[in-house]
Amino acid sequence: GYGHGGYFSPAIEQAAVSATVKCNDIIVGAIVERNGEVLLLPDSASKELTLPHSGQSGHSGSLRNLRQQLKDLGLRVALGFLYEVYENSENGAQAIYYRGEAHGEASMQGRFYSRHNLPWNRIADDRERRMLERYFAELSSERFHVYFGHGNEGQLDPVGHNRVGSTAQAID
């Protein structure tokens, strides 16, 4: 379909999310952007940085839990299209990441980073690092894609060139 200046495919998104239902270990996360910067949170067990997410270590995440986490951080976030869906080839976990746009004041935890001031060496997860590299490249052209895959193999499907806020609702 076409809406708000971009093409989208609810069938593709639904199929990707449905494919993860059979998995017990699901991570649901988001790349939360504000004014060209993305939110990274400190990992509780280390000084490494991670994207906001719900679920890991045998606990399944959910969109509801992710929304609550973002709200608990003091952020109003509009979650939009899927951004990446993949299977971790090492542990079989399924990951679903959305694009989100933050509104309001700074997060009570974590920090927003631009591409140039992001401490890339503190992002321990290679998949998250690659996802952020792709995100910043796509942000500059405002032409986003959804990645579907496993391990280091997958495909990119275009979702249009619209901004997140034009198609999503804010989380209160």
Chain-wide mean pLDDT for the chain?
A: 79
For β-strands 76-87 and 94-103, DSSP reports them as antiparallel
**Please, how many CA atoms are within 13 Å of residue 26, restricted to the half-sphere of its CB?**
20
| Predicted local distance difference test score (pLDDT) of residue 98 | 96
Q: Which residues have CB under 8 Å from 96's CB, separation 6+?
A: 16, 17, 20, 26, 27, 28, 29, 82, 84, 85
Confidence band (pLDDT; 50, 70, 90) for 110? Answer: confident
Confidence band (pLDDT; 50, 70, 90) for 168? Answer: very low
| Predicted local distance difference test score (pLDDT) of residue 47 | 83
DSSP secondary structure code for residue 56 in this structure: B
| Predicted local distance difference test score (pLDDT) of residue 13 | 47
Q: 32-41: string of b/e by CB count within 10 Å (b at 16+)? A: bbbeebbbbb
What is the sign, positive or negative, of the torsion defined by CA atoms of 139, 143, 146, 147?
negative
Q: What is the pLDDT of residues 71-81, one digit of tens each?
A: 988 889 999 88
Examine the pLDDT at 161 and tell me if it is beyond 60: no
Alpha carbon distances (Å) from 86 to 9, 35, 91, 138, 168: 18, 27, 12, 19, 22
Confidence band (pLDDT; 50, 70, 90) for 138? Answer: very high
| Mean pLDDT of the 157-168 span | 54
Examine the pLDDT at 172 and tell me if it is beyond 50: no
| Predicted local distance difference test score (pLDDT) of residue 29 | 95
Q: What is the pLDDT of residues 4-63, one digit of tens each?
A: 344 445 444 444 444 444 556 888 999 999 999 999 999 877 889 999 998 865 567 889
| Predicted local distance difference test score (pLDDT) of residue 107 | 66
In the three-class reduction of DSSP (H, G, I as helix; E, B as strand; rest coil), residue 162 is classed as coil
φ/ψ region of 97 (left if φ > 0, alpha if ψ in -120 to 50, else beta) reads beta
